[in-house]
Amino acid sequence: MKTLAIVSQKGGVGKTTIAVHIAVAAASAGYSVAIIDLDPQATAAQWSDWRNAGSGEGAAENPVVVAAPHARLAATIKEADKMGVDLVILDSPPAADSAAVAAAKIADLVLIPTRASAFDLHAIKTTAELVRVAQKPASVLLNAVPARANALIEEVATVIHSLNLNIAPVCLVDRAALRHAVINGQTAAEFEPAGKAADEVQKLYTWVCGRLDMPTTPQKVTNEPLKGAA
DSSP 145-171: BPTT-HHHHHHHHHHHHHTT-EE-S--
What is the rounded CA–CA span in Å between residue 124 and residue 58? 41
Mean residue pLDDT of the chain comes to 89
Q: What percent of the chain has pLDDT over 70?
A: 92
**Structure letter (DSSP) for residue 68:** -
Helical H runs in the chain?
Answer: 15-29, 43-55, 73-82, 98-106, 118-134, 150-162, 176-183, 188-191, 196-211
Confidence of residue 221 (pLDDT cuts 50, 70, 90): low
Indicate whether 223 pLDDT > 80. Answer: no
pLDDT at 9 (0 to 100): 84
Q: 109 and 212 in contact (C-beta within 8 Å)?
A: yes
pLDDT at 142 (0 to 100): 94
Reported as a single tens digit per residue, the pLDDT across 111-149 is 999 998 878 888 888 888 888 888 999 999 999 998 888
Reported as a single tens digit per residue, the pLDDT across 154-208 is 888 888 988 889 999 999 999 999 989 998 899 999 999 999 999 999 999 999 9
Indicate whether 150 pLDDT > 60. Answer: yes
Pick the more confident residue, 185 or 227.
Answer: 185
Half-sphere exposure of 37 (CA within 13 A, CB side): 19
What is the rounded CA–CA span in Å between residue 10 and residue 115? 10
Count of CB atoms situated within 10 Å of the CB of 65: 26
Class of domain 2-211: alpha beta
Domain boundaries, the chain: 2-211
Indicate whether 36 pLDDT > 50. Answer: yes
Sheet bearing 64-67, strands edge to edge: 64-67, 33-37, 87-91, 2-6, 109-114, 138-142, 166-167
Mean pLDDT (whole number) for 41-69 = 83
- Comparing CA positions, the residue from 127, 115, 125 lying closest to residue 153 is 115
Mean pLDDT (whole number) for 1-21 = 93
Q: 182 and 20 in contact (C-beta within 8 Å)?
A: yes
What is the rounded CA–CA span in Å between residue 38 and residue 12? 16
Indicate whether 54 pLDDT > 90. Answer: no
Indicate whether 153 pLDDT > 90. Answer: no
Indicate whether 225 pLDDT > 80. Answer: no
**Structure letter (DSSP) for residue 115:** -
